[in-house]
Amino acid sequence: MRLIGKQERIYYGWYIALALAITETVSYGVLFYAFPVFIAPMEAEFGWSRGELSGAFSLSLLITGLVALPVGYWLDKHGARLLMTAGSIGATIMVLLWSQVSEFSEFMAIMALMGFFGAAILYEPAFAVIAAWFARSRGKAMALLTFIAGFSSTVFTPLSHALLEAVGWRGAVLVLGLILGAITIPLHALVLRRKPADMGLATDGFESAAAEQTGASMSLRLVLRSRYFWLLTVAFSLSTLSISAVRIHFIPLLISVGIQPGSAALASGAIGVMQVVGRLIFAPLERRFSSRNMALGVFLLLASALAILLLGSAPGLIVLFVALFGMAIGTHTLTRPLIVADSYGTAFYGRISSSMVIVLTLTGTSAPFAAGLAFDAFGSYNPMLLLASVFSLFAFVLIWLLPKRALDKRAPERHV
């Protein structure tokens, strides 16, 4: 294979990947990580309960997942440029309206619409773009995107707090809305393109027609009815359930076994750091192993981390758990879109991935609630940890049982 053109140039897909890395950092920072900073001041001003505020945020996340299917359909038919640009505009308007809210009903409506527009600008459409522009370097491009976006909380949590202290919560939310619009709208509008062929390029910048056509002849209906698809969906649903339950309850879990709140918060923050470390390690490993084997490794890593936490709360065990669990979360984010794209190609990627996301959203949003009920019933988080570990091992088994025929349809550049 050879590069397109007379001289080697940076493949345009890398500009897209970098632009998306920036927009995902800002989008997650404003729409996700900034919210907890404003819970207390909004509670103090309006008298709304902590449950009401967190419930509105949960509604936003749920809607983001539930509208994934129409978003995926649009991505497959029309690409991401118009969708993500419109999503940025809509999300920006919602954040600006949030800064002026006065009634809880208004706040609920704003958060619901924020979830709707968030579905158009968060990871799912970004992954669809990467899948369309890369085959051999798909894992590397996704790792770049999520590695940079992994610093979203590191940037926007302290920034939101600093703005809160400087101009109050309304002023802080207003500024964040302006930042969201100023950065994401032009990057989505000016940099994104639907597919390499629109610019006279081929996937990865190489002449690789086979890679571009992978999955073009598949029937979407047959895919969604296949045993392979549902094995993948159930496996990632179980792992998502395990991650969500433990991640949300990690600080109260540590406090319940005698860890000081400050130390528990520090350990929780360290999980985010290890997510970035995991993504940094992911790229070179992904080039050597198939996405199926990478998924097996992620699920085994997750089960091992949870088993370690079951052994006790000694400092060494907590440190080891944080390292393994953080890396498992970071690589889990990358592995699912990679194995979907490798298995089915890009023709129906948006709809296939979005169909899976709906199930993952339902399990992910219900897991923290179920974990809380388990704690209330048993007075300990150990049953939840044991169940999460078993679920992770079961996910490992399901990936192990995947038939290889779908994976064999991947682009020839990638390992089987």
pLDDT at residue 373 above 70? yes
Mean pLDDT, rounded, for 306-328: 92
Determine what percent of the chain is predicted with pLDDT higher than 70: 92
Mean pLDDT, rounded, for 23-27: 97
| Rounded Cα gap, residues 212 and 341, in angstroms | 11
Mean pLDDT, rounded, for 59-73: 90
pLDDT of residue 130: 94
Q: Return the CA Rg of the chain.
A: 21
pLDDT of residue 182: 98
Most confident of the following: 3-7, 157-161, 302-306: 302-306
pLDDT of residue 126: 95
pLDDT at residue 283 above 80? no
User: 399: how many CB neighbours lie within 10 A of its CB?
Assistant: 24
| Rounded Cα gap, residues 158 and 29, in angstroms | 10
Q: Is 233 exposed, middle or buried (0-12, 13-18, 19+ CB in 10 A)?
A: buried
pLDDT, averaged across the chain: 87
Model confidence pLDDT, tens digit, residues 374-415? 888 888 889 999 999 999 999 999 999 988 654 444 443 343
pLDDT at residue 215 above 80? no
User: In 3D, which of 377, 387, 205, 395 has the Cα closest to residue 298?
Assistant: 395
User: 87: how many CB neighbours lie within 10 A of its CB?
Assistant: 24
Looking at this protein, which amino acid is placed at residue 176?
A: L
Length of the chain: 416
Model confidence pLDDT, tens digit, residues 225-272? 889 999 999 999 999 999 988 887 888 888 888 888 878 878 887 888
Asked which of 125-134, 153-162, 364-373, 381-390 is least confident by mean pLDDT, the reply is: 364-373
Model confidence pLDDT, tens digit, residues 168-207? 999 999 999 999 999 999 999 999 998 898 888 888 776 4
